[in-house]
Amino acid sequence: MPVEGAIEWRKRAGKISNLEEEIAARPLPPTSVAIGHTRWATHGAPTDQNSHPHVAGRVAIVHNGIIENHDQLRAELGEVEFASETDSEVAAHLMLREVESGKGLVDAMRAVVAKLEGAFTLVAVDAQDPDRIVAARRNSPLVVGVGSNEYFLASDVAAFIAYTRDAIELGQDQIVELTRDGVNVTTFDGAPAETKSFHVDWDLEAAQKQGFDWYMRKEIFEQPKAVSDTLLGRLNDKGELQLDELRMSPELLRRVNKIVIVACGTAFYAGLVAKYAIEHWTRIPCEVELASEFRYRDPIIDPMTLVVTISQSGETADTLMAIRHAREQHAKVIAICNTNGATIPRESDAVIYTHAGPEIGVASTKGFTTQLVACYLLGLYLAQVRGMKYGDEIAALLAELERMPEAIQKMLDAKSTVYDLAEELVDATSVLFLGRHVGYPSALEGALKLKELAYIHAEGFAAGELKHGPIALISQDLPVFVVVPPKGRDQLRDKVISNIAEVRARGARTIVLAEADDEEARAVTDTLIELPKVSTLLQPMVAIIPLQLFACELATVKGHDVDQPRNLAKSVTVE
């Protein structure tokens, strides 16, 4: 509907298709300036009224994040009539008040952000200044796309990759103004801001489905290439491991006496695997922390602590806050990230980039396996600079890592076993996952994928904890996935096989991931998923593949939207 004769807006709750139908029925007029936003409901129910944009008179805004003091600001606005229940609409009315007082859009934005508390990316237009878009960011992602006589604002480059692969990073507490003449960036205080341009090394084709039914399924099958790409260029001409982007001196790394890995969700489980590898290879004590808990429990970190953060998007709010807390304690921070130009690598002391390419599906898959590769590389590099591994030992481990894409491909080629299993278990209401050593994080990640996509109860347990409580959950025909360690870790493997026998004796259906020639595991198995022979520490890279495929296929046969699971967002940019 027209607002003040100039602003036209359309918005609908639910899927983008709902909005497409609305625009088809009531087309928008041609324009050279437009804003839009897809946002999960945080304040207020997911309704048309609470959807974005929010319009106040001649001003329209979209907002990502949370305005923590919105109640106080509503009170300050007095008799203003609000059309929604959101925190975001407060910003629209504040912007209107400022432009009606005579301020230009940039100065109005500067006045508004000075009042806001919390995390936000705020984008605004003014009907009386129709050739300008102004945006501001604090603790929330924002990137500028630079095309041919056109400019874009988005939280991620994927939004404009069809139009340009050139972008500008925006720093913390900055305001950006887009006009026909170009891009102008200033600080919240009004000072000119330095910017950094970058080029995206993937294109639109990489972000499309390419014949797959789901982005997630495509991304599962892209893992051999993603792992291979993350390993490229890691050896110098002397045969030594090199991490060019790390830019942290060997002397500093030799002084580290503790490592703390901080992450959320799937990245946290990658960190749990990393703990086993890093401690084994370097003998440096390694802790793994949930980013959402890290700074609230008063962690013991100091200048000799190396904090390693893991985030696919590089914008995870909890992880970003953990970085800031760590740096306040003078710890050094290394980020493992998939997104060039993101906030987390920019605010860290060093970065190891994964090269997974765009990951569109909400449930992370190739993000996880490439994070594992980056963690392995970091552990081996630390072992190298600290003299804990000989060159030939590191070379042998790197050679095995380079064979992992082939091993992953074998798991993908055997997908029919997993797909058949999903068809058989479509009515299951609960699934358990068991593992020991690095099989335990694999179990946790397998359970998370099932919760995210199939919406059924799923739990991952350390198999050795069965008798301490979880065995009470075992019932007739309950599906139980078990990750069996490779042969060679026989004491550990024997205990897991004993665990399988325990749950099977109580009526569970055992689905076992084990090496093809492991006859002892086969003997206690209802369904065997064969794993290729790999070292114990690297086994999660192959064990996770059938668990990803199972969750994807089970959700598909249940009729769920695999790429956009309910209540979830790809990047959690608020705490």
63-98 tens-digit pLDDT: 988 888 999 999 999 888 999 988 899 999 999 999
d(CA 543, CA 529): 9
For residue 202, how far is the Cα from the chain centroid? 18
Give the full edge-to-edge strand order of the sheet including 166-169.
Answer: 151-154, 143-146, 166-169, 196-199
d(CA 29, CA 127): 14
Q: Which two tokens stand for residue 505?
A: 């004796």
22-72 tens-digit pLDDT: 999 999 988 889 999 987 666 777 888 888 999 999 999 999 888 889 999
3-state secondary structure 342-363: CHHHHHCCEEEECCCCCCCCCC
pLDDT at 574: 52
pLDDT at 133: 96
d(CA 330, CA 354): 26
d(CA 313, CA 472): 38
96-140 tens-digit pLDDT: 999 999 999 999 999 999 999 987 899 999 999 989 999 999 878
Helices 265-282 and 366-385: crossing angle in degrees, nearest 10, is 20
Q: Amino acid identity of 439?
A: G
Higher pLDDT, 204 or 461: 461
Centre a 10 Å sphere on the Cβ of residue 146 and count the other Cβ atoms it contains. 17
3-state secondary structure 192-237: ECCCEEEECCCCHHHHCCCCCCCHHHHHHHCHHHHHHHHHCCCECC
Report field, pTM of the whole predicted structure over 0.95? no
Q: What are the distances in angstroms from CA 28 to CA 2, 20, 23, 34, 135? A: 10, 11, 7, 10, 23
301: confidence class by pLDDT, cuts 50, 70, 90: very high
Centre a 10 Å sphere on the Cβ of residue 176 and count the other Cβ atoms it contains. 25
Q: Is 280 exposed, middle or buried (0-12, 13-18, 19+ CB in 10 A)?
A: middle
Q: What is the DSSP string of 221-280?
A: HTHHHHHHHHHTT-B-TTS-B--GGG---HHHHHH--EEEEEE-HHHHHHHHHHHHHHHH
Helices 366-385 and 391-413: crossing angle in degrees, nearest 10, is 170
Centre a 10 Å sphere on the Cβ of residue 162 and count the other Cβ atoms it contains. 12
Centre a 10 Å sphere on the Cβ of residue 485 and count the other Cβ atoms it contains. 26
d(CA 369, CA 542): 9
- Does residue 3 have a pLDDT over 50? no
Strand pairing partners for 571? none
